[in-house]
Amino acid sequence: MSYSIRSEVNEILAARNGSYINGAPVFNGTDYITLQNPSSEAYISTVAVATGDDVDLAVQTSRAAFVGTWKVLTPYQRSCLISKLADLMERDGEIIAQLDCLTTGKNINLAHGLEVGQAAVFLRYFAGWATKLSGETVDTSLGATGDSGFTAYTSRAPVGVVAAILPWNFSVMIGIWKVGAALATGNTVIVKPSEYSPLAWLYIARLAEEAGIPPGVINVVNGNGATAATLVTHSEVRKITFTGSAATGEKVAIAAAKNNFKRVTLELGGKNSAAILPDVSVSDVLPKLLPAALLHQGQICASPERIFIPRAQLAEALECIKQILPAFPVGDAMDPGAFFGPLANEAHLGKVLAFYDKAKAQGRLVFGGQRLPRPGFFVEPLVVIVEDPDAGVFNEECFGPVLCVMAYDSIDELIVLMNSTPYGLTNSIWTNDLKSTQIMTKALESGTVFVNTHSMMDPALPFGGTKGSGYGREFGSAFIDDYTELRSVLMAY
Ligand code: NAD
């Protein structure tokens, strides 16, 4: 079953799209991004690339809104406006979900659940924080000098203009993590969506205005890597929050350091592992683990691409995988009955197919790995057994539906293998063994360790990486450090 495209969505696809700056649409550029529907390969819309002057206008108006309106509002007023945006996103959830579905190939159910439903939950979480920021009073260690005493306290100050650079895989929800965090802490924000998913944020910027958020507080600048790089080097941008590949993250970190040491949060790639421990049965775990690993065609930064199986259960695990994967319903992103849809764009399809070739050469084929003979960027998932832990496919991120299976013999060996990757975003262990859980959750080098689940996110629990997966944390209370300056005040009396 497929459902029809809303008239509002068709209007947006046909419109003259560009950027949204200081409460108005802007399309000065002569370069255009062409958008393709990954489910059909049809060309569906174009978006003007922002010029250097557009980027400058976005930064100047964002700075003016920071000083002139957003900072002036009370925390309670900011909290109410952020919550109101969440309400409007839910009201127009169908439009937002369809825009995402049509440009990135995300299944409509997933788009509703995460890009709208969860995005609203996250926004309300941040709205709550707007009224709870505080510093602390400090008893100075030096005490009085002469007839002077000292008292001291700290407070949190917003950093100013924040640039939020987004990937295409969860363009709305990941953008909301950054926009919600920036606005709750009193900053203004310029969103630079991925060139593959620029439309939803143009719509959300309009909703922000309807919510009463003053013009310039959320600006949206569309374009490519060069557009984002201009934002990173702009002198009035005080913080970059970046989610994307490690290769681009490195460029962002270097450019930020060279441009007055801008603050940076980097949410980068991963080569995440899931390990089934010997106390549980692979036949019980794999029906839960495989859908978690292959949700959104594996294009989730937290998804596992490495699966560790106790050697004694390897044969059973391979049989299980061969039974479960062919049963995943494949279909168009707008088909609510489908689980497995197209890859997000043609360039990514090329990267995934090249990775498949490498995986088949470096591992032993268990399942899949072919492009599907139908329009759209559809592939089968690929499962290979890998024996060499140094193999490239076992250490490099595919960011697609590939699973490298490896057998292990002991928990000590398993910990070494799971940590043997340049990345450190997520790991999961599947077990009811309390002792192994305690040992492994302490030993695994990743920002998150899941137990008996994988890729679940909660606004109250910080998310971020270690090692090559970047630094900084999204949400939880940890985001406050990344979006504020801690000011110290020392008073003699
Ligand atoms: P990407 O690095 O190609 O692009 C991300 C963004 O960076 C885009 O908006 C792009 O225009 C911009 N960009 C490109 N060149 C730039 C430059 N020189 N300076 C500044 N910005 C520049 O990544 P992608 O293909 O959009 O996303 C996939 C990657 O994102 C994967 O590696 C995935 O693991 C990662 N990801 C990480 C998380 C996380 O939370 N850790 C979440 C989602 C995706």
Give me ligand 1 centre to Cα 445, in Å.
22
Residue recorded with tokens 């788009």:
111
Q: Would you say the CB of residue 164 lies under 6 angstroms from ligand 1?
A: no
Cα(468)–Cα(121) distance, integer angstroms: 29
Q: With a 6 A CB cut-off, is 244 part of the ligand 1 pocket? A: yes
pLDDT tier at 225 (50, 70, 90 boundaries)?
very high
pLDDT band at 443 (very low <50, low <70, confident <90, very high): very high
pLDDT for 314 beyond 80: yes
The per-residue b/e assignment along 118-152, b for 16 or more CB within 10 angstroms, e otherwise, is bbbbbbbbbbebbeebeeeeeeeeeeeeeeeebee
Question: Average pLDDT over the chain, rounded to whole?
Answer: 97
d(CA 182, CA 82) in angstroms, rounded, equals 11
Q: What is the pLDDT of residue 146?
A: 77
Q: What is the DSSP letter of 171?
A: H
Residue 149 confidence (pLDDT) above 60: yes
Given this model, what pLDDT does residue 252 score? 98
Distance CA 198, CA 34 (A): 10
Active site residue 250: no
Residues above pLDDT 70, as percent of the chain = 100
Task: Look at residue 132 and tell me whether its pLDDT is greater than 80.
Answer: yes
92 lines ligand 1 (CB under 6 A): no
State the pairing for strand pair 423-424/466-467: antiparallel
What pLDDT, on a 0 to 100 scale, did the predictor assign at position 369? 95
Q: What is the DSSP letter of 211?
A: H
Give the angle 436-285-443 at the CA atoms, nearest 5°: 25
Which residues are within 8 A (CB) of 374 and not within 5 positions of it... i.e. 6 or more apart?
A: none
Which of 357, 281, 363 has the alpha carbon at shortest distance from 319? 281
- CA–CA separation, 102 and 491 (whole Å): 58
Distance from residue 286's CA to the centre of ligand 1 (Å): 30
pLDDT tens-digit series, residues 84-103: 999 999 999 999 999 999 99
Residue 473 Cα to ligand 1 midpoint, Å, equals 16
* pLDDT above 80: residue 143: no
Q: Is residue 493 pLDDT above 90, yes or no? A: no
Residue 134 has pLDDT above 60, yes or no: yes
Secondary structure (3-state) at 247:
helix
What Rg value do the Cα atoms of the chain yield, rounded? 24
**Nearest alpha-carbon partner for 265 in 245, 249, 248:** 249
- Averaged over 314-339, what is the pLDDT? 97
**pLDDT at site 279:** 98
Three-state DSSP class for residue 250: helix
Half-sphere exposure of 151 (CA within 13 A, CB side): 3
Q: What is the mean pLDDT of residues 296-320?
A: 98
Alpha-carbon gap, residue 460 to 474, rounded angstroms: 10
- Using a 10 angstrom Cβ sphere, with 0-12 exposed, 13-18 middle and 19 or more buried, the burial of residue 395 is middle
Residue nearest to ligand 1 atom 33, measured at CA = 269
For the CA of 463, the nearest atom of ligand 1: 40
- Which residue bears the tokens 């496919």? 393
Indicate the burial class of 487 (C-beta count within 10 angstroms; 0-12, 13-18, 19 or more). Answer: exposed
Q: Which of 133-147, 393-407, 439-453 has the lowest mean pLDDT?
A: 133-147
Determine if ligand 1 sits within 6 Å of the CB of residue 163: no
Distance, in Å, from the CA atom of 476 to the CA atom of 184, rounded to the nearest integer, reads 13
Q: How confident is the model at residue 2 (pLDDT cuts 50, 70, 90)?
A: low
Q: Terminal CA-to-CA distance of the chain, rounded, Å?
A: 74
Provide the token pair at 306: 């490495």
**Does the beta carbon of 232 lie inside 6 Å of ligand 1?**
yes
Q: Hey, how many other C-beta atoms are within 10 angstroms of the C-beta on 347?
A: 12
Marked catalytic residue, from 101, 115, 301, 397: 301
Give the residue-averaged pLDDT of 34-39.
Answer: 98
The CB of 459 under 6 Å from ligand 1? The reply is: no
Summarised one tens digit per residue, pLDDT across range 178-224 is 999 999 999 999 999 999 999 999 999 999 999 999 999 999 999 99
Give the CA dihedral 391, 392, 397, 401, nearest 10 degrees: -70
Lowest mean pLDDT among 140-144, 176-180, 351-355, 470-474: 140-144
Which amino acid does the sequence have at 38?
P
**Mean predicted confidence (pLDDT) in 323-333:** 97
User: H helices within 185-336, ranges in order?
Assistant: 199-211, 225-233, 246-258, 282-294, 314-324
Measured distance CA(349)–CA(400) in Å, rounded: 9
397 lines ligand 1 (CB under 6 A): yes
243 in contact with ligand 1, CB cutoff 6 A: yes
Catalytic site includes residue 320? no
Mutational test site, ligand 1, from 19, 33, 169, 446, max ligand atoms within 8 Å of CB? 169
Mean pLDDT computed over 451-473: 97
Write the DSSP string, 256-288.
HHHTT--EEEEE----EEEEE-TTS-HHHHHHH
Centre of ligand 1 from the C-alpha of residue 329, in Å: 29
Instruction: State the pLDDT at residue 29.
Output: 84
* Mutation choice for ligand 1 from 248, 426, 471, CB with most ligand atoms inside 8 A: 248
Q: Which atom of ligand 1 is nearest to the CA of 425?
A: 41
One-letter amino acid at 278 equals P
3-class secondary structure, 79: helix
Supply 438's token pair.
Answer: 């305690």
When mean pLDDT is compared across 20-24, 27-31, 337-341, 373-377, the lowest value belongs to 27-31
Mean of the pLDDT values across residues 410-432? 98
